[in-house]
């Protein structure tokens, strides 16, 4: 996995581009089942927040680093991610995409990707978990884009062909979390077809 800032920017850009491309083929299936209680629109809205929070948090500079890594961010936000508010926020984000959700997603990506490209990764931003460097926060957004665009692809009957750069970064992050949580063995067994997938590492 390329851990450089350029590598992380490329992984994020590729994940965002894949998201835009998959959303572009939704057509009239916005109310079709998406993921859990979300329909396709809500799943798309939730996934769009992986782009929007980068923009939002960069506009709120932090003074200090309180969360040192992408893995620490996921550990710090587990309770929030498992809470009932996530589903409601996803639906609200889907509605906020308006009458042309695919166009809205394309415009968001076109706005956020150059914003990231103009950064050097050292920027301090205020996340829901606390102050972080952009270089540490961005892989969490790439992970979310990769996973939820795969969810969206499956919902639409498409192959979940995650581009190589974001796939490597997302899998490496999942592996790091699994090792720390003691579930690496279960994950390895699932990945090699020997057992069912373990509980979520996030």
Q: What is the pLDDT at residue 73?
A: 96
194: confidence class by pLDDT, cuts 50, 70, 90: confident
Q: Which helix (H) or strand (E) holds 39?
A: strand 38-39
Average pLDDT, the chain: 93
Q: What is the pLDDT at residue 2?
A: 65
Mean pLDDT, residues 2-26 taken together: 95
Residue whose C-alpha is closest to residue 64's, from 136, 132, 139: 132
pLDDT in tens, 152-161: 999 999 999 9
Q: What is the DSSP letter of 63?
A: S
Q: What is the pLDDT at residue 103?
A: 98
Return the CATH number of the domain spanning residue range 5-191. 1.20.120
Residue 114 has a CB neighbour count (10 Å cut-off) of: 10
Domain ranges of the chain: 5-191
Do 60 and 132 form a contact (C-beta atoms < 8 A)? no
pTM, entire model: 0.93
Q: Which residue has the tokens 């926020």?
A: 89
């Amino acid at each position: 996995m390329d851990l450089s800032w350029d590598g992380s920017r490329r992984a994020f850009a590729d994940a965002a581009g894949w998201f835009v491309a998959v959303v572009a083929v939704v057509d009239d299936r916005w109310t079709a089942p998406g993921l859990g209680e979300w329909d396709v629109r809500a799943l798309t809205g939730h996934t769009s927040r992986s782009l929007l929070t980068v923009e939002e948090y960069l506009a709120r500079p932090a003074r200090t680093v309180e969360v040192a890594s992408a893995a620490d961010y996921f550990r710090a936000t587990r309770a929030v991610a498992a809470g009932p508010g996530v589903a409601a926020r996803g639906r609200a984000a889907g509605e906020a995409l308006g009458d042309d959700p695919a166009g809205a997603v394309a415009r968001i990506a076109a706005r956020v990707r150059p914003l990231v490209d103009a950064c050097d990764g050292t920027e301090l931003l205020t996340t829901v978990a606390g102050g972080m460097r952009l270089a540490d926060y961005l892989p969490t957004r790439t992970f979310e884009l990769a996973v939820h665009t795969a969810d969206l692809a499956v919902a639409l009957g498409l192959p979940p062909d995650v581009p190589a750069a974001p796939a490597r970064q997302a899998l490496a992050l999942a592996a790091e979390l699994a090792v720390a949580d003691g579930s690496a063995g279960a994950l390895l067994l699932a990945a090699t077809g020997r057992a069912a997938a373990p509980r979520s590492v996030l």
